[in-house]
Structures are given as structure tokens and as C-alpha cells.
Amino acid sequence: MRDDAYLGLLAVFVPFSLISIGGGASIISGMEGEVVRARAWLTSREFVELFAISRAAPGPGTMLATLVGWKIAGWGGAVVASLALFVPSSLLCYAVFRLTNAHREKAWHRAMREGLAPVGTGLIIAGVLSILQLSGAVGLTATVAFASAVLVMGLPRIPVLMIIALGGATGWLVG
Amino acid sequence: MRPDDEGQHGRAARRASLPALFAVCLKIGVLSFGGGLSAWLHQEFVERHCWISEDDFASSLAISQMLPGANVVNLVVCMGEQLRGPLGAIAAAFGFLVGPFFAVIGMSALVDRVHDLAELEGVLTGVAASASGLLLVICWRGTRRAARHASGLAIVAATAIGVAVLKLPLLLVAAIIAPISVALSWRRVKSDA
């Protein structure tokens, strides 16, 4: 049973590791598709909660995978999911760095960078839309999200944790 | 890099020990709330410890952002490799991730424990919403950068619509659109040159 869970986590997260262009936020939508819709490991509610926790805690947003693993298969699941998500992309990065660092600023570097960036942006937009769709109160979520974005753009020096805390306080008062 | 660049500003002088590398990454990992981390890594690796030169940092950052994976993890992998080889890369990545690993699980366990509180659901919805807002800022900046070329904007839209609206598998969408997008930008880079 547990071995099945580990294999399932590997099957989900290893491919996502290699497709997480622009970082962990780009695979939120895909994770939701696998974890909530296709495999029904978690409910929408649980997924949104884990997303909230992964963003309020320190570390890259990719720690969402660690939490999914932990929910499904305990400590072992957390370790398996984390390794599945961080090892493949890190190995790829290591290899590319080793092989190409000697001749940097090649044209293909720029082409890769400029070509992949819009894909990453599109994936993150999809991730935000997924969270909005999953969250029960779409109006409240969209309003708080928009207000947080405006606040960050207007006051770039505001600590991220304060934005998160303001969002939590609003949800507590209104929800 | 030209040889005469290798002065005070070019090449970093000091050598990092594995424990020191691990400790710096551990510290940044534990205290890393919500992005802006590459600036912090720059401060520690380039300015404070003088382990990595400006040029090397810039090229590591470029590779980290271009490839899949959390950018900061990729960045510490590159710098770890440069400083101490494979063991350095492992020490840096492990050091960076071990703190957040226990932090997220601890927070999640805490949330589970007080789950009976009705208020908690509202708080988490609010946190998820403001965190989405932070991502919206990244989306906005990314879209503006992409909009310098009509094709960039089309790629952003096609990716988002394919995944979020049409609900196509993300792997499929990325596997089709990414090569097209790289090919388009390759043609642009070539014609610029």
C-alpha cells in the first residue's frame, strides 16, 4: 500500500520536476490536475490549504510537493515527494552548468532563456487561475489577491510576510 | 572574461569549506520567506563571503532561471558545484532545503491540530488569496517582458489558456509550446546578431 503511494508520488512529481519552468509556481495547475482531479488523493479544500501553508512557510513554493507527500504517505511520503521534485531538476541544472559554464553568454543561452520565460509565465497564470477556481469563495479570493498584488506593486519594500498576514486577517474577518 | 577583469571586482578570492557552505545555505533557507532570494544569495556569496565573483554569479543565475526547478535551488547547486564540486552542490542544496522541509510539515501539523476552529478555514483562504496575489505580480512582470514581442504574448496566452481553461495536461502543453517558443526566440536572437 505504502509502496504504491511512493511510486505514485514519483510518477507524478518526477515529470513535473523537469517541466517546472520558472520555478514551483508553474506546476501548481498540473499538480492540482493530478493530485485532486485525476488521482483524488486530496480534496480541493485540502489542496488550497496546503498551497496556503507552503506559501506562508519559508522555502521555495515547491515545498507544496513536500506537503502533498506528507499528507498522502507521512514522513516517507514527504521525503519521496521532495526528492522526486528537487533531484531531477537539480541534476539537470548541475549537468548544464558543468557543460556550458566554460563558454557562457552563448546565443542559445539567450534563446532558451527568452523562449522559456513566456511559457513559465503562462503556467504561473494557469496556477493562479487554478487556486481561484478551487477556493470556495471566488469573489473574496480574487479581491484579496488583486489587492495584495496592487500593494506589492505600489510598495515594493513591504515584507512578503506582512502581505500574507494581511490576507489571512482579511479571510478571518470576512470568512 | 578578459584577463584584466580579474581584479578586485572580477574574481572572488576566498575558498569555502563544506560546513560553511552548508551553514550559509541553511540560514538562508530557514529565513527565506517568499521570494527575493537571489538578491540575498548575492549578498552572502558575492559580497559578504567573497566566494563567487559578480560574473560567475550572473551566469549561474541565468542558467538557474532558464532551466526547470526552483530558481534558488538551481542557483545554490551551481554555486556549490563551482566552490566544492559535486559535494558542494549537494551540501548547498541539502542545506537550503532541510529547514523549509521541517518548517512546512511543522506548520501543516499545527494547522491539522487546530482544525476544529472554524476561523482557520477563513484564514487559510485569505493566505492562499494573498499568496496568489504575489504570484500575480510575477505574472504581470513576466507578461510585460514577453509583450516586447507579439509572439511572446501569444505564447503566454496559449500556455495559460491551454492549461487553465481547456484543462489540457500541463506536460503536454509545455512539451508542445516550449520548443516552438524557443525556436521563435532563437530566430530572433539570430537576426539580432
B147-168 pLDDT per residue, tens: 998 899 999 999 999 998 998 8
Mean pLDDT in consecutive groups of 10 residues from the start of chain B, 193 residues: 40 79 93 71 88 84 84 93 94 96 94 78 89 89 90 94 90 91 90 77
Which residues of B fall within a CB distance of 8 Å from A172? Answer: 119, 122-123, 126
Q: What range does the domain containing B98 cover? A: 8-117
A145 with B129: Cβ contact below 8 A? yes
* B127 falls within a domain: no
Q: What pLDDT is stored for residue A138 in this prediction?
A: 84
Q: What pLDDT is stored for residue B35 in this prediction?
A: 59
Q: What is the model's pTM?
A: 0.83
The grid cell for A12 is 507524478
- Does A64 have pLDDT greater than 70? yes
Rounded-to-integer distance, Cα B22 and Cα A84, Å: 21
Q: Which residue of B has its CA nearest to A21?
A: B68
Q: What is the total count of domains within chain B?
A: 1
* B159 falls within a domain: no
A14 close to B (CB below 8 A)? no
* B135 falls within a domain: no
3-state secondary structure of A110: helix
* B148 falls within a domain: no
B89 with A114: Cβ contact below 8 A? no
Q: What pLDDT is stored for residue B34 in this prediction?
A: 60
- As to burial, measured by CB atoms within 10 angstroms (0-12 exposed, 13-18 middle, 19+ buried), residue A105 is exposed
Task: Please give the ipTM for the structure prediction.
Answer: 0.84
Residue B36, phi-psi category: left (phi > 0), alpha (psi -120 to 50), beta (remainder): left
* B142 falls within a domain: no
Local confidence band at A12 (pLDDT 50, 70, 90 cut-offs): very high
Which residues of B fall within a CB distance of 8 Å from A166? Answer: 130
